[in-house]
Amino acid sequence: MKKKVLSLVVVLMLLMSGFTSFAITKGEARGWYYGNVSSWAKEELIDAVTNGIVMDSALLNDCKKNITRQEFATLAVNLYRAVKKEDPAPAPASTFSDTTDVSVRIAYNLGIINGVGNGKFAPDSSVTREQMGVMMLNAVSALGVDYNRGDGTLAMTDKGSVASWAVRGVDFVYENDFMKGDGIKFNPKSTTSVEQAVAIANRVYKKYAKPVVVITENNNYAKGYTANIESDGVYVTFNNTGNKEAVLKYGEEFNPENDSRMKVFKASSTYVANDYRKIYFMDEDGRIISYDFKTKEYHNYEKDFGFANGYTIVEKGKYKGYYVVREKSTNGDMIAYDTKFKEVGPVYTMDQYSVEGYITEAYKFNFEVDGEKYYRMAKYGGDWDQEKTLRMRPDSSSDGPMALVANIFDKPILYNYSGIYEVTMKFNNENRSNAGIVFNVTRASVGNDQYTGYYVGIDPEKNTVLAGWTNYKWNILKEVQLDFDVKKGKSYDLRVVNAGDMMNIYVDGKNYMAVDNSMLKVNGYVGVRGWKADVDYESFSAKEVPY
């Protein structure tokens, strides 16, 4: 009954404000048709539908087609409505001679878009990446956000191709990681697909939408406090007079009548911990949120677009206040997060008495693959030491040790034939040696060059970067002199962008060579390798070539 009354109040408020929202659940969004969708985009598009960024399912019939100016204007207006919870007024129907579309006229009135001249809008023309950057910045400005982070200095190598009128918009989307290109080039004149545009609009929404609204009045924290909290369909009324911390926790039945301090809608359970300053709760989509009544700060878990099956709070010890989250996945992984929901790494228990040891282990060196952390490796020779860094040295079995990213059973994981691979490493010796990255590996065994795959490395004696491949025999593709001397104990960044018909190789951000990659265009394993090198790997990442 209370839920119905609350829903009626919300509907009345929305009607009085002139804004009408048609909320779609995750389950309903999953039932939509996503034609020709990329594997990376599916979940993000579902999330965008749920957030109200996409209201017309027809837009997603072909997710890889170029988005038009009119379609993007609609996305921008949906973004505005979803954040502001209001319907803005459109410009007059006579604004453009080639379209009377309401969303186009609203976007124009908000200052998000402009015409192309002579009273025209060109609704069916494609949107370039630099145009989208400008429109996204305009959309954020319309929300009332004063963006001052960017300095107008572009970091990408093709910054000279960005039009002068687009510099600030490109700076905005690039600095905020909404659009990155391949991490080196931004490709400002390229067009944008529907799935890319929707994903970017959704990322902007998630950054600037305020998911938690807290109303408090005249609180005395020594005696208790009252708060009304709303978060995307979760409504919590909390009246604390017992100086305790309330936690909504998955898996335990909660009856509001049994606890007069809290009344909860769309949340199933609770328990009370020992710190009265905070409240924790999880919404129906599995998003976990904490709110600190004293600092008025909130943090939320949104990994994999909010999916969690449950969580617990570490209540004592070195990691007090950390979260252990059970992922909503087929294997129910458990991941530790710090107090601000920054991921620490996988753990294997939610038990309060043993979790501390697992969290300590999770702080060790890891391989990051598409945002997931892997702590295991399949080793082929060598002497390895895995602490905060991964130290690799040759041993009696091989001068060319190799480690491939592996699952919990120490079996190498298969990766796409294209990708961006990056390591930060420092050499502990300067004699004749080299170390770097292996990828597209299909076979491997212990011994010098006993694998099939590509290798890119740095030679500290010759001060070169080299690329080659092996089929149980080393074949050099190219070796280029660096602009500097490689020093023992100094960190260097090595990056490979393996996409299309070429692999581009960078050291400390500079492109030193482009090499044909047609020899081994196959899915394979990824990892690190060296030859007679004593080296510390400080980080490793592999990710899809973005847009």
Give the CATH number for residue 494: 2.60.120.560
Per-residue pLDDT, 491: 96
The C-alpha angle 361, 362, 368, rounded to 5 degrees, equals 135
pLDDT in tens, 442-470: 999 999 999 999 999 999 999 999 999 99
Answer whether residue 14 is part of any domain. Answer: no
Answer whether residue 19 is part of any domain. Answer: no
Q: Which residue has the higher pLDDT, 361 or 155?
A: 361
- Is pLDDT above 90 for 413? yes
- 56 and 199 share one domain: yes
CB-side neighbour CA atoms (13 Å) of 212:
23
Q: Which two tokens stand for residue 75?
A: 């996305």
DSSP string of 330-384, one letter each residue:
TT--EEEE-TT--EEEEES---TTTHHHHHHHHTS--EEETTEEE-EEEEESSEE
What SS3 state is found at 10?
Answer: helix
Find, among 318, 350, 352, 317, the residue nearest to 334 by Cα.
350
Q: Which residue has the higher pLDDT, 220 or 513?
A: 513
Answer whether residue 1 is part of any domain. Answer: no
With contact defined as beta carbons under 8 Å apart, do 505 and 465 qualify? Answer: yes
- 499 and 387 share one domain: yes
Q: Which two tokens stand for residue 230?
A: 């709303």
Least confident range of 273-287, 370-384, 516-530: 273-287
- Is pLDDT above 50 for 1? no
pLDDT in tens, 295-354: 767 677 766 556 777 777 787 788 888 888 887 765 677 888 988 888 888 888 877 778
- Domain span at residue 502 reads 367-544
Per-residue pLDDT, 152: 57
Beta bridge partners of 372: 369
Per-residue pLDDT, 304: 57
Match 């034939």 to its residue by tokens.
417
- Is pLDDT above 50 for 78? yes
Q: Which two tokens stand for residue 329?
A: 């996945």
Per-residue pLDDT, 483: 95
- Is pLDDT above 80 for 263? no
Helices 42-51 and 194-208, packing angle to 10 deg: 50
Give, in order, the Cα–Cα distances in Å from 243 to each of 225, 254, 259, 276, 473.
Answer: 9, 20, 14, 5, 69
What SS3 state is found at 370?
Answer: coil
Q: Could you give the CA distance from residue 237 to residue 79 in angstroms, rounded to a whole number? A: 28
Helix (H) and strand (E) counts for the chain?
9, 29
- Is pLDDT above 70 for 237? no
- 238 and 283 share one domain: no
- 284 and 423 share one domain: no
- Is pLDDT above 70 for 245? no
Answer whether residue 327 is part of any domain. Answer: yes
Rg (C-alpha) for the chain, rounded Å, is 27
Q: Work out the widest C-alpha separation in the chain, in whole angstroms.
A: 80
Answer whether residue 465 is part of any domain. Answer: yes
How far, rounded to the nearest angstrom, does the alpha carbon of residue 317 sit from its chain's CA centroid?
Answer: 30
Answer whether residue 2 is part of any domain. Answer: no
pLDDT band for position 270 (cuts 50, 70, 90): very low
| Cβ neighbours of residue 96 closer than 8 Å, sequence gap 6 or more | 104, 105, 108, 115, 119, 120, 121
Find, among 134, 116, 9, the residue nearest to 76 by Cα.
134
- 318 and 231 share one domain: no
Query: Please, what is the average pLDDT of the chain?
Result: 81
Q: Which two tokens stand for residue 413?
A: 């994981």
- 235 and 336 share one domain: no
Mean predicted confidence (pLDDT) in 520-530: 93
Q: Could you give the CA distance from residue 182 to residue 419 in angstroms, rounded to a whole number? A: 10
Q: Could you give the CA distance from residue 305 to residue 40 in angstroms, rounded to a whole number? A: 13
Give, in order, the Cα–Cα distances in Å from 299 to each of 29, 135, 295, 463.
Answer: 25, 28, 12, 46
User: Strand 402-406 relative to strand 213-216: parallel, antiparallel, unpaired?
Assistant: unpaired
pLDDT band for position 279 (cuts 50, 70, 90): low
- What percent of the chain stands above pLDDT 70? 76
pLDDT band for position 429 (cuts 50, 70, 90): confident
Buried b (16+ CB within 10 A) or exposed e, 505-534: bbbeeeebbebebeebeeebbbbbbbbbbb
The arrangement of strands across the sheet holding 402-406 comes to: 376-380, 402-406, 525-531, 434-444, 451-459, 464-471, 474-481
- 52 and 187 share one domain: yes
- 387 and 514 share one domain: yes
Q: Could you give the CA distance from residue 192 to residue 166 in angstroms, rounded to a whole number? A: 16
Q: Could you give the CA distance from residue 80 to residue 209 in angstroms, rounded to a whole number? A: 9
Last residue of a domain, one of 186, 208, 230: 208
What SS3 state is found at 316?
Answer: coil
| Cβ neighbours of residue 532 closer than 8 Å, sequence gap 6 or more | 394, 399, 400, 431, 432, 433, 434
- 196 and 217 share one domain: no
Per-residue pLDDT, 358: 86
- 81 and 168 share one domain: yes
Per-residue pLDDT, 17: 41
Q: Give the number of domains in the chain.
A: 5
What SS3 state is found at 518?
Answer: helix
Q: Which two tokens stand for residue 313?
A: 């709070």
- Is pLDDT above 60 for 502? yes
Q: Residues for the chain: how many in total? A: 547
* DSSP-derived secondary structure letter, 413: P
Q: Could you give the CA distance from residue 310 to residue 252 in angstroms, rounded to a whole number? A: 10
- 56 and 173 share one domain: yes
Per-residue pLDDT, 153: 64
Q: Which two tokens stand for residue 522?
A: 């196959």
* DSSP-derived secondary structure letter, 117: B
pLDDT band for position 27 (cuts 50, 70, 90): confident
Answer whether residue 239 is part of any domain. Answer: yes
Find, among 403, 455, 458, the residue nearest to 434 by Cα.
458
- 440 and 512 share one domain: yes
Mean predicted confidence (pLDDT) in 69-93: 93
Q: How many CB atoms lie within 10 A of CB 246?
A: 22
Q: Which two tokens stand for residue 181?
A: 């290109």
pTM check: above 0.85: no
Per-residue pLDDT, 310: 75
Answer whether residue 5 is part of any domain. Answer: no
Q: Which two tokens stand for residue 40?
A: 């990376």
* DSSP-derived secondary structure letter, 157: T
